[in-house]
Amino acid sequence: MMGGRCVSRLACLALLAALCFTSCLGDDFYSYTVKDHQGQDVALEAYRGKVTLVVNVASQCGYTDITYQALKKLHDILSYGDHFSVLAFPCNQFGEQEPLEIAEIVEHVTSEYEVEFPIFNKIDIVGEHADPAFLSLSESSSVVPDWNFYKYLVDGSGQVVSAWGTRTTIEEIFDEIHAEVKKAKAAAAAGKPGSEKAEAAPSPSVDGGKDEL
Give tens-digit pLDDT for 154-212. Answer: 999 999 999 999 999 999 999 999 999 999 999 999 986 554 444 334 444 445 444 44
From 6, 12, 61, 91, the catalytic residue: 61
pLDDT at residue 27, rounded to an integer: 84
Class of 28-207 in CATH: alpha beta
Q: How many CB atoms lie under 10 A from the CB of residue 185?
A: 17
12 is catalytic: no
pLDDT greater than 80 at residue 24: no
Q: How many CB atoms lie under 10 A from the CB of residue 97?
A: 20
Please state the φ and ψ torsions of residue 92, each to the nearest 5 degrees: -110, 20
Contact of 149 with 59, CB cutoff 8 Å: no
The reported pTM is 0.81
Instruction: For the chain, count helices (H), then strands (E).
Output: 5, 7
